[in-house]
Structures are given as C-alpha cells and as structure tokens.
Structure 1
Amino acid sequence: MPTNNNNNNNDNNNQHSISLEGAIPSVTSIVWSAGRTRAQEAINVYANLDLLRPYFDVEPKELVQRLLHSLTPRWPSPDENIKPELYGPAMIVFTLAAILIYQMKLSSHSVQDGTLIGTSFLICFGYWIGSSFAISSMSFVCNTHLTLMQILSINGYALFSHNVVLLIATFIHTGHDHLLFYGLWLIVGGLAAVRMMLLIMARTINPRYRILLGLFVVAIHMFFLLYLHFAYHELAETVSHALNNEATISMDLPVKSLTPQSANAAVKSNGNF
C-alpha cells in the first residue's frame, strides 16, 4: 500500500510539472502577441502622423502671404492651385483660444465641468473642425471640387479675421466699443468671409449651388464672430464699466472733517451713555 501511494504522488507531481511547463509557453505567447499588437499600433500612429507631415511644411514668407491673402478677396483663376496647409490654421486657432481665455478671465467666467483652457480649446477647435466638415458635406452635395484638407486650410486662415477683431475689441473698452466692433466685424470679418466664399464658389460648377454654398459659408463665419464677442466680451465690458463706476462714485463721495466742537460733543454724548 505505501508503494502505491508513492506512485500516485509521483504521477500527480509529474502531471503538475507538465501542466506548468505547458502554461509557460502559453503565457509567453500571450505576452508576445500583446507586445506585437502594441508595436503595430505605434507604427500605425507614426505612419498616420507621417502622412500629415507635408501639411505642416510651410515657409515663414509663405505663411505671411497666406495671412494677408486671407483678407484680400478676389475671384481665383480656374487653374489656380489651392495648396492644403494646416500649420497656419492651427496657429491661428491656438491664438484665438488664447484670446478667448483672456476674455473669460476678464469677465470672471466660471466653468462647472472643466477648465477655461479646455472650454476655449473646445469652442475654437470644435468650430474649425466642425464647420469644415459641414462645408465639406455641403460641397460634396453641390459638386464642389475641393478636398477636406483644402477646406480646413481655407477655413482656418479665414479665422485670422476673428483674431484681429477680437484682439482690438478686447483691449479697447470705450463707450463706442460696440460701434468699433461692428465696424471691424463688417470690414475685417466680411473681407475674410468673401475671400473664403469666392474660393469655394469658384470650384462649384452649378451656378445655383454657388449662391447657396456661398451664403452658407458667409453665414457661419460671421455668426461665429458675433457669438465670440457677445458671449464673453460683453461680460468683460460690463465688469470693466462697473469697476470704473464704483471708482468714480467713491472718489465723488464727500469727506466730513472732524472739528474740535464736534469731537467734544461726541465725547460728551458717549459720557452720557
């Protein structure tokens, strides 16, 4: 009987060792496959970024020219090449987000879920990407010969007018601030909107669709500038005027001088109590 028990124990140990030896390769294969999957994902991400690299290759002189051309509307020639580029639009949107953060701080704007930086970036980048996709969808319906990258570039450079208008309207708090804003909104914002409208209309074949698409582009461009001003800058202006009024009222209040007779009367009244 003891011999049989020893044999059974040896068999169990051998089976346990065999199962462990079989489990080690399986764990190794799982780790190897997981590592290979992660490496493949990293390679795919790098490949996608490498595809975007040509869109961020731009010379400083060309960047300045594109900024100036975004405010000079003209009908482009049919064979004019619209080079898709994202470096300038990305920097413009970053600058717009910084201006919006400054407006939020001036107006003591508070965000319940999130931060001011996150909110401003969501608004600016959300509009740039969302409106570009909307224009691209309308362009596809209207048979416009523009790619999504070209629309992102055109729409991004058009936001340069928003930076100019909001930057001037933010730092000038006068009684005619709204008049100044409406003038800048109509001139600077209108020039950028007309420039973008002409570029898109020139690539649309059907004349009826040209007008519809052009009005759509101008409307979303101009109304977004109105939203940025009246959603945050008006609050900043109200706070500024309120602080100025409080300062003038405190300076205009009369200060009563304490004469010796009034001091003696005050001492006597206190003594009577």
Structure 2
Amino acid sequence: MLNNNNQQTTSVETGVPSVGSIVWSAGRTRAQQAINLYANIDYLRPYFDVEPKEILHRLLHVLIPRWPSPDENIKPELYGPTMIVFTLAAILIYQMKLASHSVQDGTLIGTSFLICFGYWIGSSFAISSVSFICNTHLSLMQILNINGYALFSHCLVLFLATFIHTGHDHLLFYGLWCIVGGMAAVRMMFIIMARTINPRYRILLGLFVGAIHIFFLLYLHFAYHELAESVSHALNNEATMPIGLPVKPVLPLASPMVDVVSKLNNRVMARNN
C-alpha cells in the first residue's frame, strides 16, 4: 500500500510540471499570435482605406439627426475619426495658448493629445462595455467610428468659440453647444439606440451616450478657455489693470508734506526780516 501511494504521489508530482509547461506554452503562443495580429499594419489597413468623398458625406450627415434604417451598414472606418481627433487637439492647443495655460509635467501638445485621444478611446471602450451589457449589436470598431465622427461637432464649436472673441462669447458658445453639439449627440444616440433590442436599455444607453458627448464639450470649453474680454484685450494690445490691488492715496499723503514745507519757508522769511 505504501509503495502504491508513493508511486501515485510521484506520478502526480512529476505530471504537474509537464501540464503547467504545456499550459504556459499554449498561453504564450496565443498571446504572441494576438500581438502579431494587432501589430501588423495589414490588419489595420482596411480601416484606413476610404475615399475623400465618403468622409465628406459622413461629416455632413453627423449634424443631421435621423433614425437609421434597420439594414443600414456602419462601415468600421478609422481614418476620418483619427483626422478629426488630430484637428480637435490642434484647436485645443491654440485655446490653451490663448488662455495662458501652463503644464508643470509635460507640454501643451502632449496634454492636448492625451485629452483628445484619451477621451475618444476611453469613451468608446466605456460605450462598448455598456452596449455589451445592454445587448447592442455594435462592434468596438463601429463605436470608435461613430464616436470619432461625432467629435466633428466639438471641432466646430470650439473653433468658432475660440476664434470669434466678442463680449457675448459664452452666449455664442451656449448656442453652438445646444444646436451643433446637440444634433451630433442626438445622431449618435439614434444610431446606438436603433441597434439595441430592449426598449428600456435603449433609452438608458442613449442618455448615457448623449451625456458623455455633451459634457465633454463643456469641459473642453471651460477648462482651457479664458474670458472673452481678457482675450480680446490681449489680441488688441490693450493695457489691462490688475484687479484687486489696493490703490494708495497720493493726495492725502502729499498734503501734510506741503504744509510742513510752507511752514519752514515762513519761518525762514521771518528770521530774515
């Protein structure tokens, strides 16, 4: 009996390393295959193969909110969204320079690229995760496409609100935010809601997507934007006085000195006489 138990333990002990090595090698092989697949340029090439006319057509339809047809195909294309995010980053850099925004660890270019690309990829992953829970028939590449083209409204609103500096700049921004940003948000909501089967999840997912899109535009404007009056004064080279600095009275301090000098002059004149 002891010999049988010893034989079983030794067989199990000798078998564990072999099984572990097999599992390790299989996992390493699959991970290497996945890395080679996504690192291959040929895998990403179909997502950037698009005609300029098609990009222009999609940019125009971003601001036209309509319920998509059931058989409408959403091509997972990333060239247009990538160029839109680059444009948004360039506008954000100019806005940071106007607002005299400083970065302690890093540069303005790195900060703007991190914000824009981080939002695009991060929000797309968040929408994809919630869409998976709500049983929405959209892939991650399709969500990246929809979310990227929706950022075209952010480019328009920030461009007009940054380069048109008037006394009612915030009113202009709020108008563009409601009209342009709202239409793009509704368009994206309709596309995602049309691919969601459950009506209850459809409304919740649409509100979630629209809120992310709208509030990110508010963040970009008010986080890196200076008051319109200060910007207009800086562009027109007008001198601005610092606010809140105490102003010392000059005349009340000078009048006692004048009295002292006049008294001394009177005494000198009296002695001479």
- TM-score bracket, normalised by the shorter chain, equals 0.7 to 0.9
| One-letter code aligned to 1:77 | S
CA RMSD of aligned residues (A): 2.1
> 2:130 maps to what in 1?
138
> 2:249 maps to what in 1?
none
| One-letter code aligned to 2:109 | I
* Structure 1 residues 246 and 164: alpha-carbon distance in aligned structure 2, compared to 1, 3 A threshold: closer
Which residue among 47, 52, 57 is the counterpart of 2:44? 52
The answer to whether the aligner puts 1:164 opposite 2:156 as a matched pair is yes
How far 1:240 sits from its partner (Å)? 1.4
Which residue among 137, 146, 159 is the counterpart of 1:154? 146
* Structure 1 residues 112 and 249: alpha-carbon distance in aligned structure 2, compared to 1, 3 A threshold: closer
User: d(CA) in 2 for partners of 1:46 and 1:144?
Assistant: 24
The answer to whether the aligner puts 1:121 opposite 2:123 as a matched pair is no
On the 8 A contact 1:201/1:214 being kept in 2, the answer is: yes
User: d(CA) in 2 for partners of 1:169 and 1:197?
Assistant: 25
User: d(CA) in 2 for partners of 1:96 and 1:86?
Assistant: 15
On the 8 A contact 2:81/2:149 being kept in 1, the answer is: yes
Unaligned runs of 5+ in 1: 1-39, 251-273
> 2:63 maps to what in 1?
71
User: d(CA) in 2 for partners of 1:218 and 1:190?
Assistant: 8
SS in 2 for 1:130: helix
The answer to whether the aligner puts 1:217 opposite 2:209 as a matched pair is yes
> 1:190 maps to what in 2?
182
On the 8 A contact 1:73/1:194 being kept in 2, the answer is: yes
Which residue among 62, 65, 82 is the counterpart of 1:90? 82
How far 1:245 sits from its partner (Å)? 9.3
Question: Which structure: greater helix fraction?
Answer: 1
User: d(CA) in 1 for partners of 2:128 and 2:229?
Assistant: 38
| One-letter code aligned to 1:99 | I
User: d(CA) in 2 for partners of 1:242 and 1:249?
Assistant: 7
SS in 2 for 1:95: helix
How far 1:53 sits from its partner (Å)? 0.6
On the 8 A contact 1:104/1:236 being kept in 2, the answer is: no
SS in 2 for 1:75: coil
Aligned length: 209
> 1:203 maps to what in 2?
195
How far 1:124 sits from its partner (Å)? 0.1
| One-letter code aligned to 1:62 | E
On the 8 A contact 1:103/1:236 being kept in 2, the answer is: no
On the 8 A contact 1:106/1:236 being kept in 2, the answer is: no
TM-score (norm 1): 0.72
* Structure 1 residues 46 and 193: alpha-carbon distance in aligned structure 2, compared to 1, 3 A threshold: closer
TM-score (norm 2): 0.72
* Structure 1 residues 91 and 179: alpha-carbon distance in aligned structure 2, compared to 1, 3 A threshold: same
| One-letter code aligned to 2:83 | M
How far 1:48 sits from its partner (Å)? 2.6
Unaligned runs of 5+ in 2: 1-31, 242-273
How far 1:244 sits from its partner (Å)? 7.2
> 1:261 maps to what in 2?
none
The answer to whether the aligner puts 1:239 opposite 2:236 as a matched pair is no
Q: Among the aligned pairs, what percent are the same residue?
A: 81
User: d(CA) in 2 for partners of 1:246 and 1:153?
Assistant: 43
> 2:91 maps to what in 1?
99
User: d(CA) in 1 for partners of 2:184 and 2:40?
Assistant: 31
User: d(CA) in 2 for partners of 1:89 and 1:236?
Assistant: 30
The answer to whether the aligner puts 1:181 opposite 2:173 as a matched pair is yes
Deviations 1:17-70 (A, max 9, x none): xxxxxxxxxxxxxxxxxxxxxxx99x9278632111100000010010010111
| One-letter code aligned to 1:48 | N
User: d(CA) in 1 for partners of 2:140 and 2:46?
Assistant: 15
